[in-house]
Chains A and B, each alone.
Chain A
Amino acid sequence: MMQKVFTRPQTLKDCPTHYCPGCGHGIAHRLIAEVIDELGIRGKTIGIAPVGCAVLAYDYLDVDMVEVAHGRAPAVATGMKRTNPDKIIFSYQGDGDLAAIGTAEIIHAAHRAEQFTVIFINNAVFGMTGGQMAPTTMLGQITATTQEGRTPASHGYPLQVSELLAILPGAIYIERCALSGVPQIRNAKKALRHAFELQMNNAKGLSLVELLSPCPTYWRLSPPDAMLWIQNEMTKVFPLGKLKG
């Protein structure tokens, strides 16, 4: 008899997503769903959807979820986790949400050593609003608001949030991974699993996994070329690996 060896994780709903072809959100969602299933924590997990392309993450992830104001997820997560220390709380935030409008909230959540997990999707661009510059946009990168390419003189430098957070004692685990190829994706899953396990073990501090994620639409690249761009270009500014913990 044939045995089924690969299937959709229970926590990932059986429906088509609204994401563009080649987008990294689908991969990230699947990894989160797999980890939640494997750890058996669906019944005590609460997720926070961002403002951005993944605002509808609750349509795909079958856990209790809340949708919050742009950038405020770490404050919302703080309110949730402090009143429900037995729950597994994660926020899912893009680079506009986390690295632009929500910098105060993420830095202070880390500084207070809040015990939730942040999944930080860095695709170097604002997707939802039409491909504008993000704080993490690469130098020279063309976006809707840097039409001649990002320059340090006009737009500053790509912001390395994970490095900033890693110096804070309240951040206990920070790792940057990429969704650019099979080995990298497997590593990203390990990192997510570790972050959730820290919460399950009541570890005293913030865990954050940054995922370099492809946005072929606003990078104006084919999906395979977008994967290569992460590996060849993005990782120069956003090097992969464990920054803390």
Chain B
Amino acid sequence: MCGNEAMSESAIQAGCDAYFGYPITPQNEVTAYMSKRMAEEGRVFIQSESELAAINMVFGASATGKRSMTSSSSPGISLMQEGISYLAAAELPCVIVNVMRGGPGLGNIAPSQGDYFQAVKGGGHGDYHCIVFGPSGVQEFVDVMPLAFDLADIYRIPVMILADGILGQMMEPVTIPKNSKLKTKNSKLPKKDWALTGAEGRKQNIVRSLWLADGVVEQHNYDLQAKYRQIGKNEIRCEQYKVDSADIVVVAYGIAARIVRGAVDKARQQGIKVGLIRPITLWPFPSEQISKAAEELRIFLVVEMSCGQMVEDVRLAVAGKSPVVFWGRPGGGIPTVEQVFEQIRELTIKPKKK
């Protein structure tokens, strides 16, 4: 199974009631897989007429309390931004998978990490966030799906999985958890008493994002921010690899982190003290973990498949306590272990005195 298919099956096992999507490379295996499997499960699959429609179908299903998802790749995710802003405003849970490709524009169909800003800073209009995961292997791509659906329900928030063309296309042996719609952190999933189910025997429910009265949207924003702070307290996930004794700390996420890990191992074999911090949640960002690592004077090297996006969040976290260096390849360029190793090695060379 490729990553796209394995992730899709994991979503089904996590109780996804409805999938809506529009074909775009490199995530077409998702729509094909879902069209077959969702029908087998008696659930809903629709190939929509556009990504605009897909995200609004998600909105509709989610507003009635159903677990729903969509997937796309970079240009299609751009089209969805309107809907994602509305989902965030109306506090509707859903899962959105972005199998990133090279951009900007139509770009290419090669793997990339150029959509980090769009994913973690909001992306659409207004002050909002989605929870964003950046899995770095097919197993993690699979494992994150039930968690994404649970967190979406618990916090009433859109959750985005930021994958890339390699993760989507790569085949690895995986274990897909069965019937994984469970409780997260022992807390029961909240009752969806806000959902539109027909107002039988109760007052009407309204799902909305417009409030014209003075100050109501301002207050709504404060409430959203309070929720985001709560998520920031509870949901940060991050892996640290050989950081304790390291002089150099590489920060990377997703498939880039997988490549960096290889370079770290190679550098360690040659006696270079280097470690890896790998954010698993990109929003909320593991700022505290990075800040803590920066308390000792170290060099931070941020490696991304972009021109440097996450590096801004790393700099904010490091806050001048240590130097932060960036290296990356945009537009579908894939870093090799050798290239990353070379970047690490260069950082060990002391600058020549003038």
Task: Categorize the interface residue count of chain B.
Answer: 35 or more
Contacts A66-B208, A67-B209 hold; do A108 and B53 have CB atoms under 8 A apart? Answer: yes
Identify which of residues 105-144 in chain A touch chain B, using a CB-to-CB cut-off of 8 Å: 105, 108, 112
A83 on the interface (CB 8 Å rule)? yes
Chain B residues in 8 Å Cβ range of A105: 49, 52-53, 56
Cβ contact within 8 Å between B206 and A76: no
Convert A154-194 into 0s and 1s, putting 1 for each residue whose CB lies closer than 8 angstroms to a CB of B: 00000000000000000000000000000000000000000
A67–B63 CA distance with the chains assembled, in angstroms: 10
Chain A residues in 8 Å Cβ range of B59: 68, 72, 75-76, 79
Cβ contact within 8 Å between B204 and A65: yes
Cβ contact within 8 Å between A79 and B18: yes
Chain A residues in 8 Å Cβ range of B50: 104
Cβ contact within 8 Å between A79 and B198: no
Cβ contact within 8 Å between B61 and A69: no
Cβ contact within 8 Å between A64 and B206: yes
Cβ contact within 8 Å between A62 and B204: yes
* Shortest CB distance A14–B (Å): 14
* Selected contact of B49 from candidates A44, A66, A104, CB within 8 Å: A104
Identify which of residues 55-88 in chain B touch chain A, using a CB-to-CB cut-off of 8 Å: 56-64, 66, 68, 82-83, 86
CB-nearest residue of chain B to A82: B44
Cβ contact within 8 Å between A108 and B49: yes
* Shortest CB distance B51–A (Å): 10
Cβ contact within 8 Å between B60 and A79: yes
In the complex, besides A46-B64, A78-B46, 17 extra interface pairs with C-beta distance below 8 angstroms are A46-B196, A62-B204, A63-B204, A65-B205, A65-B206, A66-B90, A67-B210, A72-B52, A72-B83, A75-B52, A75-B54, A78-B57, A79-B18, A80-B60, A80-B196, A82-B61, A84-B64
B: residues with CB less than 8 A from A are 17-18, 20, 44, 46, 48-50, 52-54, 56-64, 66, 68, 82-83, 86, 90, 196-201, 204-210, 212
